[in-house]
Structures are given as structure tokens and as C-alpha cells.
Amino acid sequence: MTVSFSELKETLKKVLLQLSFPQNKAEICADIFASNSRDGVHSHGLNRFPVFVDLVKKGLIDPMAEPECVEQNGLLEVWDGHLGAGTYNSSICMDRAIELAKKNSMSCVAIRNNNHWMRGGTYGWQAAEAGCIGICFTNASAGMPPWGGKEPRLGNNPLVIAVPHHEGHIVLDMAMSQFSYGKMQEYELKGRSLPFSGGYDREGNLSTDPVAIKQTKRALPAGFWKGSGLAMMMDILLAMLSGGRTTAKITASGNEYGLSQCFICIYKENLHQDLVDEIIAYTKTAIPVEAGTEIAYPGEQTLKRRIQSEKEGIIVDETMWKKVLSL
Amino acid sequence: MTVSFSELKETLKKVLLQLSFPQNKAEICADIFASNSRDGVHSHGLNRFPVFVDLVKKGLIDPMAEPECVEQNGLLEVWDGHLGAGTYNSSICMDRAIELAKKNSMSCVAIRNNNHWMRGGTYGWQAAEAGCIGICFTNASAGMPPWGGKEPRLGNNPLVIAVPHHEGHIVLDMAMSQFSYGKMQEYELKGRSLPFSGGYDREGNLSTDPVAIKQTKRALPAGFWKGSGLAMMMDILLAMLSGGRTTAKITASGNEYGLSQCFICIYKENLHQDLVDEIIAYTKTAIPVEAGTEIAYPGEQTLKRRIQSEKEGIIVDETMWKKVLSL
């Protein structure tokens, strides 16, 4: 079934207001959750909303908390999220990074004691929409073993790089495992194998079976040692800049809350859009592996899905929709 | 056979002086090539030196050129390399980024019309040694197909992230293909297969045979679509910031010269070294896949090799060493 963007957003907003979120915060949070579903990222949109509500009810997300700048070092600011809504705090931080970059060409805002920001791409699109290059990343609880190890010690810490582009922004939103557990579950529910190895089975062999991987908790880092190293660097950068909780501490706490994020912005008047066009056009001239398909730039599919959702409504899981309506 | 660092460096310096490099530039370039060999990156150290000399003789690298700042936008500077030595120009740019960051907390120096910087990690170590977080990347000629395509359209554009650490800096130096052609050649010379798929064979199947992959020129991006997207983003960021030649133009020119690089620095007094220790210690607690091995952080093996080279001399390929001695 499908619902319109405004119906989805208003429904979520109503729940947030009932949970004592102030009006402006309910507006921003509902908009982000609804936009994530609109862009096809259901796992961080409607489908994640009940988990978010649950964390609010448990007292792990404080609806009243406002993020606060606690350190200023030139264009590098450290903020404290005071365990407020991760999506709201993150959008405030990216707004601040945009503001600083527009005045000074660049900026970095790091936040600690924040909560899950849902889809990282959200803040990349936000920067690009404002005409800035945006780079942002988060940490998370351990869900992936480091390269050479068997037990989860790394967060699936996504990296987002976004640039403004006159024909649709270019937004890379990249988690560090080859397949997220959410994606693997989709394959599991359809009874299908992964198209490539996504982790290890009990015998320690690379596997395309999502069930076997879930059992071992040995999700495969993208590019093996490369995704593993990059995930570790994200956590290190966040700890260094924000002074917040590391993946070690988040994992030990038993709940995925109190995370850190970093928002880097770069602004420059002439961002050479003609050269970006050149890169995209050149990349698309490669003969496709499957005839009739086209090579996509990062974010291209997201934009297509967004346009489709706006025309035809947002596809929602009926059970999940009913669940949220009853909240 | 082994040679000492000073013998290697002085030998290279002598050649550079003969090629009319000014004293200070010959010193810096020789130091970088020798350091790359010392750190075990032979492909961008001694073994690459004859190629560098050849490009100088062809007139594609100008020994007299000095990099020049051509645009200042706050803390974002654009430099022109005037087709000078890539290693020298890059170290000047990272020095400038460090200087700006130490005064203003962060900085970005983008350079166009530069040449190959050899090992990207060099400039990461440089930033970390100066107490800064360093992020840098370069573009290159097309050597890898984009995801979904069969022909090379992306550079194997490496990304470097380095942070200072009291027990040895942490430096991630990550090319975008799963295995570089240099690494694949090492396996080929030993008559061995790659430990994981590194590209495609003629039938379009994933392959661990370095010879088959060389024939198709279909090297595999690390993490499939992820490495492909990240490689494309590097070229886009460089074009946007520097206005320099894209991978499309570099490839069309037939020689890998006139590249762009970007050097981002972040400086902050308290970089929470205790939290970095915590992350490393926690990551290392994962039970290793192979008993007796230890999980390494990015840069840990490089530092071990450096210390070994300093004690026992730098291992050099005898043929290559004789070749350079005869230059």
C-alpha cells in the first residue's frame, strides 16, 4: 500500500507530540523519518519509528533535550546532544556547519551524547541542498568483527559524502559492512541468497546465506580489511573530535544510545559544475555488464525513488503502518 | 639485499641533482622515495623511481616548477602545481594545510596540475607527525570499471586518513580497488592466486587469477559498488575544489600526469588520546581468526616495517637497485 508524504509525516508528528516533543522538534523529526521512507530507506524511516518511540518511552531519548555548543576551537565546534533526538540534533549540527562554512569556507561540528541519526544521507542531502560539500559520519554499537577477528568490535559506522549538483545532488551514503543486517533480513524474508558473500558461516567460510551470517554475527566488512580499517578510523576520529563514547562504551552499555557524529562542510563559490558533468558523462560511457542497464552515480537511484514516491505515494509495509497508526 | 636509508636517499638525490632539480627539492623528493621503500611500499619507492626519471626526461615533470597559491577562499586554498614533482608539491601543500589548521583549527588545500604523489600515506604521516588529523586524496587515470560497467572509467583514487597517536600514528591509506595492479603483479610473479577475488576474467566471472584480470582490465572495486562510488566521489571532490583535470581528461591525455590532490587538516589541542587507546584495545580483544595472530590498526604494520628497516636496512630489489645506480 502507499501513503502520501504529508499523511505519513503528520501521522508520525502526532505520535511525537503525544510523547511531549515540542512542536518544532516534532516537525523536524517527523519530516526526517518520512523523507527516509520517501527515499526508499524504509529501515530508517517508518519501519524504525516504533524502535525510536520505544527508546523515548524507556527514557533513553529525551524529547526536551536541546543540543548545546560546549567547545569552540575556531571553525571546529564540539556540541553535546544531551541524549536528545538524534535526527533533530544532527540536523541542527549540519545547519550550524553550513552556517560556519558559508562564512569561512569550511567548518567541522562534532557532537557527543547524541542518539542514532537514522539515515546518514539525510544530512548529506541537507548540506548539498544548501550549496555545500558535506562529509559526515557516526559511530554505533559493535556489529562487525575487525579484519582478522571473529567477534564484533566495530560499528557499521557509515560515511556520507555529498556534493551539490545542478542536475540532482551526488550523495554517497556508505555503511562499512558489505550488507547491513537490515539488507540481509530482506533477503532472508524473500528466501534468497545474497548476490555476493556477506559474512562467514559457522565453519568460517565466506557465505551468501543471510541466516548463517546472522548466527555467527560475522558480517563482512566491505572490501575486507579496507572497510574494517575505515570503520575503525570513523570511531577514532569521532572520539578525538567529540570526546564522546566510543563503540567500546556504547556496546558495553547494552543499548545503542549516546553516539557521536561529525559534520564537515566546505563552501566555495565556483564548484566547477561543468567538470562534475564531465565525470558523470565519462563514467556512464563504460559498456554496461548487463545490456540495457545504465551506470549510476551515488544518489541517482535515491533521487529517482524520491520522484516516484512524490508521484505515486510512498510504499509502506501495511503491518508497520497499522502499528504506527495505533501508537 | 639491503641498503641503508641514507645510502638509498643519497643515491636518489644524486640522480635528481643531475636532472637539474634544485638542492632543496632533490632533498625532499629523495627523502619521500626512500621513506616509501623504508616503509615497505616498494611500488612507490625505489621501484617507481625510474618511471619518475623517465617522465622528467620526457618533459612531463618540470624539475624547476614551484607550486603556487592561485585562489584563497578563507581556509580553503587552491594551488597550481605547474606540473612540478608531485611528491614535492604535495608535501608543500600538506605543510601549508598544517600551518593553516594550527592557526584556525582546520584547512583545505587543493592542488591542480600536479603530478603523481607516489604513496598517499606519506602526507598522512606528515600531518600526524605535526599533531594534526590529515585527510587527503588524489585522482589518477582510469584503471577500474565503475560498478555495473566493463571498461575502466575510474581512477584507483586512494583516500588517506591519518591521526596523531602517542604510540605510533594511525594511518589508513586505502586505494579503491580490492587489489592494486602492483599487488596483483606480486602474486603473478610468485605464480600464486589472489586470496580473494580481485576482478573479472574473460567470461565475466569473478576471478582470483591475476593474469586473467590483467587481460580484461576489470579490476574489482573494494566492496563492489562501495569502492566504485567512493572512487567517483574523490574525482568529483577534486574537480570541484581544484578545477583541475578529471580522470576523463587525464586518461584522454595518454600519460598519467596533471593530477589533482586535496589536503584537509584538523587541529585541536585535546585529541583524547585515552579514547583512542580504548578503541585500539577493545578492537584487539576480538578472538583472532588464526590463532596466534593479532588484529592490527591501520598503519601498525607500516610502523613495524619502518622500525625493522631502520635496524636491518631497507630490502631492495637487486635489479632495480643496480638500474638506479646506473642512472
Q: Which residue of A has its CA nearest to B198?
A: A223
What amino acid positions of B are annotated as catalytic residues?
44
Which of these, A234, A232, A228, lies nearest to A260 by C-alpha position? A234
CATH 3.30.60.50 matches A179-220: yes
CB contact under 8 A, A279 and B237: no
Residues of A with Cβ-Cβ distance to B283 under 8 angstroms: 146, 149, 153-154, 232
- Please give the DSSP secondary-structure letter assigned to residue A221: B
pLDDT tier at A274, thresholds 50, 70, 90: very high
Nearest to A148 by CA among B292, B185, B223: B292
pLDDT at B140: 97
Task: Give the residue with greater pLDDT, B33 vs B190.
Answer: B33
Residue range A283-301: average pLDDT? Answer: 96
Chain A residue at shortest CA distance from B108:
A106
* Cα–Cα distance, A189 to A72 (Å, whole number): 48
Pairing mode of beta strands B206-207, B199-200: antiparallel
Please give the Cα distance from B142 to A60 (Å, whole number): 48
Interchain contact, B240 vs A278, CB within 8 Å: no
For residues A235 and A247, give the distance between their C-alpha atoms in angstroms, rounded to a whole number: 7
Instruction: Give the pLDDT score at B183.
Output: 87
Percent of chain B with pLDDT over 70: 100
Averaged pLDDT score across all residues of chain B: 96
pLDDT reported for residue A177: 97
Nearest chain A residue to B243, by CA? A272
- Residue B103: list chain A partners with CB under 8 A: 74
Which of A72, A73, A226, A277 to probe the B interface (max B CBs under 10 A)? A226
Cell representation of residue B252: 584522454
Q: How confident is the model at residue A136 (pLDDT cuts 50, 70, 90)?
A: very high
Nearest residue in A to B283, CA atom: A153
Nearest to A272 among B222, B243, B297 (CB): B243
Residue B290 has pLDDT above 90, yes or no: yes
- What is the band of A18 on the pLDDT scale with cuts at 50, 70, 90? very high
Is the pLDDT at A182 greater than 90? The verdict is no
Task: For residue B241, give the amino acid letter.
Answer: L
What ranges do the domains of chain B cover? Answer: 1-176+226-327, 178-220
B290 contacts in A (CB within 8 Å)? 148
Q: Which three cell numbers stand for residue A326?
A: 495505533
- Cell readout for A230 is 575505515
Taking an 8 Å cut-off on Cβ atoms, the answer to whether B270 and A243 are in contact is yes
Chain B residue numbers with beta carbons less than 8 Å from the beta carbon of A73 are 105, 268-269
Q: What is the phi-psi region of residue B250: left when phi exceeds 0, alpha when psi lies from -120 to 50, beta otherwise?
A: alpha
| Architecture of the domain spanning B178-220 | 2-Layer Sandwich (3.30)
- Res B189: pLDDT: 85
Q: Are B229 and A298 in contact (CB < 8 Å)?
A: yes
**Model confidence over B253-274: pLDDT tens digits?**
999 999 999 999 999 999 999 9
CB B276 within 8 A of CB B163: yes
> Nearest-CA distance from A210 to chain B in Å?
17
pTM: predicted TM-score of the whole model, two decimal places: 0.97
One-letter amino acid at A200 equals: Y
Per-residue confidence band for A115, with pLDDT thresholds at 50, 70 and 90: very high
Element (H, E) at A232: helix A225-242
Element (H, E) at A155: strand A154-155
Chain B closest-CA separation from residue A181 CA (Å): 16
Cβ A151–B278 below 8 Å, yes or no?
no
Q: Quick one: closest CA in B to A266, which residue? A: B76
Q: What pLDDT shows up at residue A137?
A: 98
In sequence order, the 6+-apart residues with CB closer than 8 A to the CB of A185 are: A210
Distance from CA of A75 to the nearest CA of B (A): 6
Show residues of chain A in contact with B264, CB under 8 Å.
Answer: 264
Q: Which chain A residue has the Cα nearest residue B268?
A: A73
- What's the gap between Cα A186 and its chain centre? 18
Q: Which of A151-165, A180-194, B131-145, B297-311 has the lowest mean pLDDT?
A: A180-194
Which residue in A has a C-alpha nearest to residue B270's C-alpha? A240
- How much of chain A exceeds pLDDT 70, in percent? 100
Contact A174 B297 (CB under 8 A): no
Q: How many CB pairs under 8 A join A and B?
A: 241
Domain A65-177+222-308: CATH architecture, name and number where available? 2-Layer Sandwich (3.30)
Say if residues B183 and B174 touch (Cβ distance below 8 Å): no
CA distance A116 to chain B (A): 20
Interval B27-75: pLDDT, tens: 999 999 999 999 999 989 999 999 999 999 999 999 999 999 999 998 9
Whether residue A189 has pLDDT greater than 90: no
Largest CA distance in chain B: 56
d(CA A115, CA B11): 56
Question: How high does pLDDT run on average in chain A?
Answer: 96
Distance, CA of B40 to CA of B220 (rounded, Å): 24
**What's A39-65 look like in SS3?**
CCCHHHCHHHHHHHHHHHHCCCCCCCC
**HEC sequence for B2-55:** EECHHHHHHHHHHHHHHCCCCHHHHHHHHHHHHHHHHCCCHHHCHHHHHHHHHH
pLDDT at A186 over 90: no
- Alpha-carbon distance of A222 to A153, in angstroms, equals 15
Here the cell at position A292 is 540495457
Taking CB atoms and an 8 Å cutoff, what residues of chain A touch B265?
none
Per-residue pLDDT averaged across A151-180, rounded?
96
| CB-CB under 8 Å, B233 with A298 | yes
Is the CB of B146 less than 8 angstroms away from the CB of A204? no
The residue written with cell numbers 522538534 in the block is A25
pLDDT at A59 exceeding the cut of 90: yes
Q: Which three cell numbers stand for residue B263?
A: 589536503
Indicate the pLDDT class of residue A185, thresholds 50, 70 and 90. confident
- Whether residues A279 and B248 touch (CB distance < 8 A) is answered with yes
**In this predicted structure, what is the pLDDT of residue A80?**
98
Class (C level, CATH) for B1-176+226-327 = alpha beta
Per-position b or e across B253-281, b if 16+ CB within 10 A of its CB:
eeebbbbbbbbbbbbbeebbeebbebbbe
**pLDDT tens string B94-149:** 999 999 999 999 999 999 999 999 999 999 999 999 999 999 999 999 999 999 99
State residue A122 phi and psi, 5-degree precision.
-45, -45
B236 contacts in A (CB within 8 Å)? 163, 170, 276, 279
Which of A151, A224, A236 shows the shortest C-beta gap to B196?
A224
Of B229, B241, B248, Cβ closest to residue A278? B248
Nearest to A278 among B149, B246, B276 (CB): B246
d(CA A111, CA A85): 12
Q: Which of B74, B241, B248 sits opposite A282 (nearest CB)?
A: B248
Which pLDDT score is estimated for A124? Answer: 98
Q: Which of A108, A145, A239 has its CB closest to that of B275?
A: A239
A178 confidence band (pLDDT: 50, 70, 90): very high
Nearest to B295 among A148, A196, A289 (CB): A148
Please say if the pLDDT value at position B234 is more than 90: yes
